[in-house]
Amino acid sequence: MADEVGLAKLTLAALADRLGVRQPSLYKHIDSMAGLQRDMAVHAKRDLGGVLARASVGRSGADAISSMSHAYRDWARAHPARYEASNLMPAPGDVEDEAVSLEAVQLIADVLAAYNLEGDDAIDAIRAFRATLHGFVSLETSGSFALAADVDRSFDRLVRGFIAALAQWTGDTAAS
């Protein structure tokens, strides 16, 4: 339902109506709207992490990054509200949400290991990868790409450009 109406427009009243129950009945399963959004975020992060893991399995270097990038974009476009929820930060002390959030970051770090990045170089690359994909997907899903050029081609070029940048991140071109 959230993917249909948008995360911001999802209400407990609308959810109860969709489920054919009275709103107070929802409180047997969730404690609040914030609790529902938190649970959606954990589920979305776990789902997206699984998609990225499947996209990268058996691949390395540029091939893994390209496959993960396309899987990320496809998942985000298919599940816009879940994608939005996947970007919600865990509340301090929410061990489950923190763990599932770190799993996705670790997966990216594992794929980027082919580029021999360590320490701050690895953190910079992880941040750049996430920001690159999130920026493109966010602009695309908001309808901001109205120019005539093929959006798929633009995305492919963006991914190839990121891969080329990674190959030069520390001067190592072996992974490309």
Q: Return the pLDDT at 19.
A: 76
Q: Rounded to the nearest 5 degrees, what angle is found at the Cα of 142, between the Cα atoms of 148 and 39?
A: 145
**One digit per residue, pLDDT tens: the chain, 176 residues?**
676 777 777 777 777 777 777 777 777 777 777 777 888 899 999 999 999 999 999 999 999 999 999 999 999 999 998 899 999 899 999 999 999 999 989 999 999 999 999 899 999 999 999 999 999 999 998 889 988 889 999 999 999 999 999 988 875 545 54
pTM for the full model?
0.84
- What is the Cβ-side half-sphere exposure of residue 5, based on CA atoms within 13 angstroms? 11
Domains for the chain: give ranges and CATH numbers. 12-167 (1.10.357.10)
What one-character DSSP code corresponds to residue 90? P
Q: Return the pLDDT at 175.
A: 53
